[in-house]
Amino acid sequence: MLWPKLRIGTRPSRLARVQVEMVQEALHRQVPDLQGNIEIVVFDTPGDRNRSSSLEELGGRGVFTDNLDALVASGEIDCVVHAMKDMAPTMQAGMVIGATLQREDPREVLVAPNFKSLDSMPSGAVFGSSSIRRRALLRRLRPDLQFSLLRGNVEERVAQMENGIFDGTILAYAGLARLDLLAHAKEIFPLNILPPDPAQGAIGVVCHSENFMARRALQLIDHAPTSAEVTAERALLRSLPQPDALALGATARAKGNRLELSALLVSEDGTQEWPGLISGLVDDAESLGLRLGGELREPAQRLLSA
């Protein structure tokens, strides 16, 4: 069949460009007729322009993605590539996730040039972070640490560690791996010790539900197990009140026709925690996420009203 030009949107960071290139290469493998027929269009977002405010102050999840989704809705581009952890849990009207690439390792890593591990860092060490979740989980492990706001792309945050501005930070393994920066990782944390952001490590491609040509191409590169995992994790987020204001880590694992979803909700000071675990069929991924969210809703509401 004759494929029309596919216009794919992305953000300007090097990591975003790497991720859109991964999607482009996957499409070229599955749809050879798209060779030379894909246009990459770069846009910045409020999250890219404002580096001095926390993500929560800027609006939380969606600050890097909502404006780009609006361009898809208007027809200016056909689809957009997102790190799925950045996406708001509720899609804009008419938007669908057309494809999810196979997930990279979702774990968290320590970047701290002068220390070999979190345990080796001195009392009062200063961590740079803009994440409520990371700060709370680190306080749970090391209540003696200090925190200061750190924003910027992955390379900029690594550079601030190397320049001694902070003693350490926590970054996603996936981003470092995609940028060939894993040499900066001093410690990789088990999922139960430092549970990651829901959908961390997954790349999604959003398109309009009525763009049938884009959807047909994207379904050819969808990785079904990853899609089920992030469906469960995003449903968990969607079921909670004000999820951007909560310190919540979650990971789903699909094996065969079974899926297990674990979550950990932590108070901002790290002194209280509420674990959750649920398992069932892969086909029930969304309902599993909603059910686990229902179990965590009451402590979440208490934290928000404290």
- Where are the domains positioned within the chain? 1-102+202-222, 108-188, 224-306
Tokens of 11: 């953000």
At the top level of CATH, the class of 1-102+202-222 is alpha beta
DSSP 1: -
86-91 long-range CB contacts below 8 Å, 24 or more apart?
86/61, 86/62, 87/61, 87/62, 87/199, 87/204, 87/206, 87/234, 88/60, 88/61, 88/62, 89/61, 89/234, 89/235, 89/237, 89/238, 89/243, 90/238, 91/206
Each residue's pLDDT, cut to its tens digit, for the chain (306 residues) gives: 567 899 999 999 999 999 999 999 999 999 999 999 999 999 887 766 656 555 566 566 777 788 899 999 999 999 999 999 999 999 999 999 999 999 999 999 999 999 999 999 999 999 999 999 999 999 999 999 999 999 889 999 999 999 999 999 999 999 999 999 999 999 999 999 999 999 999 999 999 999 999 999 999 999 999 999 999 999 999 999 999 999 999 999 999 999 999 999 999 999 999 999 999 999 999 999 999 999 999 999 999 998
- Other residues' Cβ atoms within 10 Å of the Cβ of residue 18: 15
Query: In the CATH scheme, what is the homologous superfamily, with its name and number, of domain 224-306?
Result: Porphobilinogen deaminase, C-terminal domain (3.30.160.40)
Pick the CATH number of 108-188 from 2.30.110.10, 3.40.50.720, 3.40.190.10, 1.10.287.130: 3.40.190.10
Q: For the stretch 122-156, what's the b/e string if a residue is b when 16 or more beta carbons lie within 10 angstroms of its beta carbon? A: eeebebbbbbbbbbbbbbbeeeebebeebbebbee
- Judge if 108-188 and 224-306 fold alike in CATH terms: no
pTM for the predicted model, two decimal places? 0.93
Place of tokens 């030379």: 36
